[in-house]
Structure 1
């Protein structure tokens, strides 16, 4: 008979769920703990890509699909290529990540994966009950990565934008792409009152991921993304015919909402649901990889595992950008163009990694258009 009671249940086998399962599995402290990982999907398809910048070698280098040492930025009237050393821009495909970490989980006898859809989680004083469509489980602690925008509907304190996108991996009949250069942001596309850009990651001269991305309040009908992609491929890439090999679509919350308030004594939110996506960029992958060791350390020492999102000065910087874009969504291309014109990508990446000194932060901030941010500061302070 299948085991129904566990020490820990992890809901969701995405990046945060698999990274947490692996961290618990390889730590001898948890060798006697029983762990269940639940997901409604078998994770056998390439349903997403994760990208991040990093100095030198990193923990995910063995499963990288591609990395670039140069990036291209394009504004409405500005275009430049950059050597981003000491950083590289790296990409991991979902299918490679899943295969790698599920293989690792096979080596941990105390961890079990079950493909089931969770329908309800109920907490009591002594345990948590997790109902799936097939089974009822109990455990001492749940780590829940499920995110729904309904979580944010009641929060009127902070602005909410979405980073939403549709991407195609395309193959062209002729060489089109510069393999060594990733187009980080291309704002030359029509903005239509929003912050809209194209994102191009070339794998070969005739194959690349082309993604249409917006930072805005509302998502678009899918045909709108597809029309923009077709127009860009035909007009900017000058390629009338192409084959779509893979597709991806998503929406990531851009908000300074305090997700930790949704944690309780026995339920901890992780990943996007835990507020691990950086509010100003939507990047979550590396944020999750940095949060997991803190979560595990706190779990081992019986310290609170619910306070991983303390507000810092970078939280305030993120809030100011969201305030500006929320109140004037069309200004996004001006902000990013100003930054890439005046500042080096190394400083931009360092700032977004929250590793800058206060002096470097002043340098970064002064590279942005001043008036919108001064207004946002005064509005927040007074």
Structure 2
């Protein structure tokens, strides 16, 4: 996204821009989803969208119409093809498939080493994420949103293609926060992801068994073909990644703290951060303004404090919130666009005891 933004901006046409990646980006290795009001910049590559979502809990479950929002899905392969085609058209931008093995900053430049070459630049942006940085600190809790997904095709019509299963907490929680996420492309095709908000990953067969069991129990489906598989782990933390930025090295994406700590959503958040980043680069201004507003950072921190100490509370918190407040307000809150009055509405719709305890823990 950043390479494309720099390439299309006339201000950078006299610069040479290099994009390094160890992967050619030609496979569908991941899927991104996000909610958005109306049309947006990614609409040409949106593979599927929904105006209805389903939230499932242990006690409360409901279908919601989320207009004026639309929930949109972008396949990784479509995104790569679209953006690499644009990048290749910029004469001053090069994409080279090489793995970065070292970055060394000196007074006047940064030297980037790959397995094959060395490159120098006065400025680099890196999205290389080091999870060890988070594990080595104790100030902020660290969870992971980890998941395994199967894109399946069924023989019989199975899914409601007009409705995305946003969170289904009816699955066994096992002292964690666990839910199923279902994105139907059609009546016969859907991406199912078994997802956890927890500290540690599971053995791969536990995720896959959960998907099989869910297909059987929820859809009475035992015959299906697995078309694609994907898996991932996204950091969930209020840790300030910007402390690692230097004069010439800036961290972006999850490595720059652009993942929403309370949800793990990164794709759409990154597009907004890049829009704000470009004028900062042009005007040689510090990137501290890319941090979340202090209040939203603190809200996320309280939720993570709860989930870190009582990981089984996630289902109760989300179920209470979706029972008490409309998804439109929840989405606006998670987009960090709410007023103080709207914040109060969200807070009052959450369980009180857990958040008061977390608040007192942080204050005292």
Does 1:294 find its partner at 2:276? Answer: yes
Which of 245, 255, 263 in structure 1 is aligned with 2:227?
A: 245
Task: Report the equivalent of 2:266.
Answer: 284
CA contact (8 A) 1:260 1:307 kept: no
C-alpha displacement of 1:154? 2.0
SS at match of 1:57: coil
- Deviations 1:268-322, CA, capped at 9 Å, x for gaps: 0000000000000000011110111221111101111355225510000000000
Does 1:198 find its partner at 2:180? Answer: yes
Task: Report the equivalent of 1:339.
Answer: 321
Which of 136, 145, 148 in structure 1 is aligned with 2:118?
A: 136
Alignment partners' CA distance in 2, 1:196 and 1:116: 37
CA contact (8 A) 2:182 2:190 kept: yes
Alignment partners' CA distance in 2, 1:172 and 1:294: 43
Alignment partners' CA distance in 1, 2:292 and 2:66: 30
C-alpha displacement of 1:148? 2.1
TM-score by length of 2: 0.99
Which of 35, 49, 56 in structure 2 is aligned with 1:67?
A: 49
Alignment partners' CA distance in 1, 2:292 and 2:222: 50
Task: Report the equivalent of 1:324.
Answer: 306
- Deviations 1:101-157, CA, capped at 9 Å, x for gaps: 011112210000000000000000000000000101111111000112112122211
Does 1:372 find its partner at 2:321? Answer: no
CA contact (8 A) 1:141 1:266 kept: yes
Task: Report the equivalent of 1:305.
Answer: 287
Task: Report the equivalent of 2:145.
Answer: 163
Task: Report the equivalent of 1:38.
Answer: 20
Structure 1 residues 145 and 350: CA distance shift in structure 2, 3 A: same
Alignment partners' CA distance in 1, 2:112 and 2:205: 38
Task: Report the equivalent of 1:181.
Answer: 163
Alignment partners' CA distance in 1, 2:103 and 2:287: 19
CA contact (8 A) 2:135 2:142 kept: no
SS at match of 1:106: helix
CA contact (8 A) 1:170 1:242 kept: yes
Structure 1 residues 306 and 358: CA distance shift in structure 2, 3 A: closer
Task: Report the equivalent of 1:123.
Answer: 105
- Deviations 1:200-227, CA, capped at 9 Å, x for gaps: 0000101000000000010101111011
Task: Report the equivalent of 1:7.
Answer: none
Alignment partners' CA distance in 1, 2:275 and 2:345: 31
Structural mapping, 1:192-231, within 5 Å: 192-231=174-213
Alignment partners' CA distance in 2, 1:296 and 1:343: 36
- List runs of 5+ in structure 1 lacking aligned partners: 1-18
Alignment partners' CA distance in 1, 2:200 and 2:88: 41
Task: Report the equivalent of 1:3.
Answer: none
Alignment partners' CA distance in 2, 1:85 and 1:356: 17
Give the number of equivalent residue pairs.
364
Task: Report the equivalent of 2:335.
Answer: 353
Does 1:258 find its partner at 2:240? Answer: yes
- List runs of 5+ in structure 2 lacking aligned partners: none
Alignment partners' CA distance in 2, 1:179 and 1:188: 20
Structure 1 residues 45 and 55: CA distance shift in structure 2, 3 A: same
CA contact (8 A) 1:252 1:282 kept: yes
TM-score by length of 1: 0.94
CA contact (8 A) 2:88 2:95 kept: no
Provide the alpha-carbon RMSD of the alignment: 0.8
Which of 113, 120, 125 in structure 1 is aligned with 2:95?
A: 113
Alignment partners' CA distance in 2, 1:291 and 1:354: 13
